[in-house]
Structure 1
Amino acid sequence: MRDLEWDGCSNVRDLGGLGRMRPGAIVRMEAPTLLTASGWSAAWAYGIRTILDLRHVDERDPDQVPRSAGIAVVRVPQDPARDTAFYKHWSRLDNLASPLYFPALLAEYPQVIVAAARAIANAAPGGVVIHCASGKDRTGLLSLALLALAGAEPQEIIADYLRTFDRMKPRWDELGIRDQLTAVTEILTAHGTTVEASLTSTIESLAMPDFLLANGLRPDELDALRARLLTT
């Protein structure tokens, strides 16, 4: 079972087992700020030694309890700056909260994905957590890219993206946030597509590892990334 139980957070899961992704290499989750002491202990016991925070700096809330000493935090925002035309356009269209914006970001800002891939390749030995706020879209797009590199099937990647809606629903309900799968479906329907079709189109257009190499990842960094993530 890829779902992990780390006290304080609900949307924690290992990408291992999808394609050739190695178990323990990449864990995706929502922001870990609500992890309890036992939650952090569980992360440490699982082998996590690096956290990639994919959010803008002004989104970062204080942790409920101190993080485990020895877990490094690397900040790699996955959204363009908020004063860019891209951010303003997509904030109006889908609030950067659906797969609709994924192809545009990959085309216009590939460097954010490459920066995250480089950070993973260069991380200290141990598992790497990737997270944004709810672990849905920024984390979802980076997960999609990493899983494409690992040769995961489109249906595996789509199922992993959709899993967040189930895992986060109790938290969203607690906060009084409307059903997010319904919200995302409405956005995509208004643009003549579906979650599945939108993600499939993105996956099929993303040639890996060519995308990474064409956008600045060095061959030695790609080798390090593959060695870290992939089973033989």
Structure 2
Amino acid sequence: MTSTATLMRAVSRPLPLEGAANVRDLGGYPIAGNPRHATARGAFLRGDDLSALSAQDVASLTAYGLSLDIDVRSARELGEAPDVFENPADADGVRYASVPLLDGMNSAGFEGPLPSSLEEIYRVLLDADAYGLARVMELMAAETGAVLFHCSAGKDRTGVIAMLLLKLADVADEDVVADYAASAGYMEARFRAQRTALAKRGIAAPDFLFASEPETMKRTLIHLARRYGSAEHYLLEAAGVNPASVAIIKNRLQGGL
């Protein structure tokens, strides 16, 4: 269960959208060593499936400053639930980019072999799909408006990207963990519906797939530190992101500190 200590830390709340439950700004988290400063609002947003956004939702996001939607879902997920911003006629000027992460694993849905834990998924994403994560970062660096990155639930692939961004901005581990752990609560109603739909198909998905336990992110942060040293070192050395791009993203997150 989510610890009381984690719940006590302030986390960003979802934007009030009709068609998505877990779209949150990464702004407002304290920056280590700069107690009077926090991560900038209106720069990067994390999110869940955007296929059901209403016209009002799209208008709200564009009014928020959104200019780029990075969709990291698999080909199968895209086919089953096309992103609203994929169609220029519905996008209200927002650009759309598809960067499938762990495409093979996620295209299998719940019908292929399942991983043993979320931690395993996150390690595979970091260790084996650095190219995809680098592509996401380069797209972010090239954008001047707000960038929204999302998967289906807004907690796994999205959670790893959010972890890298927040650690790049020198946000404390405790706040990264709290930001991650909040997702399961915001997605609770949608997860119940998904479980019901899977049960009708005779599929019993393991409970951990619908969770965002603090310990999972804590262990992922330990893996990041032990294997790569830091988020910045991971992006530069393992993923091969252009140093100028890393600097741009860090500067935007830190509000120009």
TM-score normalised by structure 2 residue count: 0.74
Matched residue type, 1:44? T
5+ long unaligned stretches in structure 2:
1-10, 32-37, 199-205
> Are positions 1:14 and 2:35 aligned together?
no
SS at match of 2:187: helix
* Corresponding residue for residue 165 of structure 2: 146
Structure 1 residues 204 and 33: alpha-carbon distance in aligned structure 2, compared to 1, 3 A threshold: same
1:199-218 paired onto structure 2 within 5 Å: 199-205=220-226, 206=228, 207-214=230-237, 215-218=239-242
RMSD across aligned positions (CA):
3.2
Structure 1 residues 114 and 69: alpha-carbon distance in aligned structure 2, compared to 1, 3 A threshold: same
- In the TM superposition, what whole-angstrom CA distance separates every residue of 1:88-135 from its partner, at most 9, and x where no partner exists? xxx63527x713322233223322221111110012x21000101111
* Corresponding residue for residue 98 of structure 1: 118
* Paired residue total: 219
* Corresponding residue for residue 46 of structure 2: 28
Determine if contact 1:144/1:203 at 8 Å carries over to the other structure.
no
State how far apart, in whole Å, the 1-side matches of 2:156 and 2:138 are.
20
Determine if contact 1:185/1:194 at 8 Å carries over to the other structure.
no
SS at match of 1:49: strand
Determine if contact 1:11/1:30 at 8 Å carries over to the other structure.
yes
Residue 48 (structure 1) aligned to one of 55, 66, 69: 66
SS at match of 2:18: coil
State how far apart, in whole Å, the 1-side matches of 2:58 and 2:222 are.
37
Structure 1 residues 217 and 25: alpha-carbon distance in aligned structure 2, compared to 1, 3 A threshold: same
* Corresponding residue for residue 185 of structure 2: 166
SS at match of 1:102: helix
State how far apart, in whole Å, the 2-side matches of 1:2 and 1:170 are.
19
State how far apart, in whole Å, the 2-side matches of 1:217 and 1:226 are.
13
Q: Identity of counterpart residues, as a percentage?
A: 25
Structure 1 residues 9 and 138: alpha-carbon distance in aligned structure 2, compared to 1, 3 A threshold: same
